[in-house]
Chain A
Amino acid sequence: MRGPLRNIAAIASTAVLELYRRRDVYTAVVLAIVVTVPLASVNVFGVKGIVRYLREITLLLVWLFTLVIGLTTAARQIPRELENRTIYALLAKPLRRSEFILGKFAGAVAATGLAVLLFYLCYVVLDGLKEGVWYTPVLPQVVLLHLALVALMTALVIFGSTFLTPSANVTCSALIVAGMLLFGQKIPEAAARAVAPASWILWTAHAVLPHFEFFDLRLRLVHGWEPISPAVLLAVLGYCTLYTTALLGGAVAIFSRKRL
Chain B
Amino acid sequence: MKTILAAATAWGLAIFAGIALARLPQLRLPPGSRSVAALLLGGARSVLSDDMYQRADLYYHGGVAHRHEPGGEHRQTETPTEAAGARGRRFSPLSEADTASAPHKTMGKAAAAQPRGYSIIREGRRTEAGDHEHGHEGEETAVPRWDLWSRLNRRIHPSGHRHLRGPRYEKEVLPWLWAAIRCNPHNVTAYDVAAYWVAERLKHPEEGLKILAEGIRNNPDAYRLEFTRGEILLHMLKDREAAFNAFHAAMRKWETTYARAPEKKKPDVFQYGNILLYLAVLSERKNALEDARRYYKAALDTREGNARKDIARRLAAVEEKLGAEAESASAPKPEKTGG
Contacts and interface: CB of A to CB of B under 8 A. Distances in A.
A220 B7 contact: no
B156 A228 contact: yes
B63 interface: yes
B6 A185 contact: no
B174 A185 contact: no
Contacts of A34: 10-11, 14
B62 A50 contact: no
Q: How large is the interface on B (under 10, 10 to 19, 20 to 34, 35 or more residues)?
A: 35 or more
B39 to A, nearest CB: 20
A225 B158 contact: yes
A84 interface: no
Interface string B1-35: 00100110011001101110010000000000000
B250 interface: no
Contacts of B64: 219
Q: How large is the interface on A (under 10, 10 to 19, 20 to 34, 35 or more residues)?
A: 35 or more
B207 A46 contact: yes
Nearest to A38: B18
Contacts of B233: none
Interface in A34-62: 34, 37-38, 41-47, 49-53
A216 B6 CA distance: 32
A219 B157 contact: yes
Contact of B171 (A23, A30, A49, A223): A49
B7 A47 contact: no
B150 interface: yes
A130 interface: no
A101 to B, nearest CB: 27
Nearest to A54: B175
A93 to B, nearest CB: 34
Given A26-B7, A214-B153, A45 B207 contact: yes
Nearest to B207: A46
B113 interface: no
Contacts of B194: 45
B198 to A, nearest CB: 5
Contact of B174 (A23, A50, A222): A50
A18 interface: no
B139 interface: no
Interface string A4-48: 000000000000000000010010011001100110011111110
B247 interface: no
B278 interface: no
Nearest to A35: B14
A206 interface: yes
Contact of B17 (A38, A50, A51, A228): A38
Interface in B200-257: 202, 204, 207, 210-211
Contact of A52 (B3, B7, B10, B172): B172
Contacts of A223: 59, 62-63, 158
Contacts of A239: 152
A235 B153 CA distance: 11
A47 B198 contact: yes
Contact of A53 (B176, B204, B211): B176
A211 B153 contact: yes
A80 B62 CA distance: 45
Interface string B177-211: 01000000000000000100010001010010011
A33 B14 contact: yes
27 contacts: A23-B3, A29-B7, A30-B7, A30-B11, A34-B10, A37-B11, A38-B17, A44-B175, A45-B207, A46-B207, A50-B171, A50-B172, A52-B59, A52-B172, A53-B172, A184-B153, A185-B157, A211-B152, A213-B153, A213-B156, A214-B152, A214-B156, A216-B156, A223-B62, A225-B62, A225-B158, A232-B155
Interface of B: 3, 6-7, 10-11, 14-15, 17-19, 22, 59, 62-64, 133, 137, 143, 147, 149-150, 152-153, 155-158, 168, 171-172, 174-176, 178, 194, 198, 202, 204, 207, 210-211
Given A33-B10, A42-B178, 9 more contacts: A30-B7, A38-B14, A45-B210, A46-B204, A47-B204, A213-B157, A214-B156, A223-B158, A225-B137
